[in-house]
Amino acid sequence: MVFSSAALALSPDEEERLKECKRPKFRDFVPEQKAEVDAGVDIAFHVSHNADPFTVTAEARGEKMKVNVVDKKTFYLVTAKLPQLTPGFARIHVTAKSAESKLESGCLGQDGWLLKIKGEEVAKPAEQPATAQ
């Protein structure tokens, strides 16, 4: 097989661009994915230490949450309170920009997880047993 080195090589500009953007990573979501929780419950997650702590955001169903960011030396611990949401599923969407980014866009890292908000379930009509005749 013959490979073209030009097809596999990155230009110096492309290599530099890749080095400029090291997106923040998110992990250890609490409560865990698809957990059933009450509205207003505390949530938490970790963000890699290359994130700018002043750019960390969290929202659910479009409602922004006030985040508390604590520097733990190797990562940031982020806590917030889930808004008072109606029952059903809600995705917690989290973002942070890289502190080291040289890009004007800020090198945004994004992640999230799904929670089920407890509440009154819609009652299904009880099925009537068939009567024998």
Alpha helices (H) along the chain:
5-8, 12-20
Going from the C-alpha of 92 to that of each of 7, 29, 39, 65, the distances in angstroms are: 40, 10, 12, 10
Q: Identify the pLDDT of residue 123.
A: 47
Give the amino acid at 37: V
CB contact set of 120 (below 8 Å; sequence gap of 6+): 87
Name the strand (E) or helix (H) holding 106.
none
Give the amino acid at 27: R
The phi and psi torsions of 41 (rounded to 5 degrees) equal: -70, 155
- Nearest 5 degrees, angle CA 59-CA 43-CA 46? 90
Q: Identify the pLDDT of residue 66.
A: 97
- Domains of the chain (ranges; CATH) run 21-117 (2.60.40.1220)
Q: If you count them, how many residues does the chain have? A: 133
Beta strands 26-30 and 42-48 are antiparallel
Q: Which tokens sit at 22?
A: 């090291």
Q: What is the pLDDT along the chain (133 residues), one digit of tens a residue?
A: 455 554 556 566 655 555 568 899 999 999 999 999 999 999 999 999 999 999 999 999 999 999 999 999 999 999 999 999 999 999 999 999 998 876 666 699 999 999 999 987 544 555 555 555 5
pTM equals 0.74
* C-alpha span between 40 and 84 (Å, rounded): 5
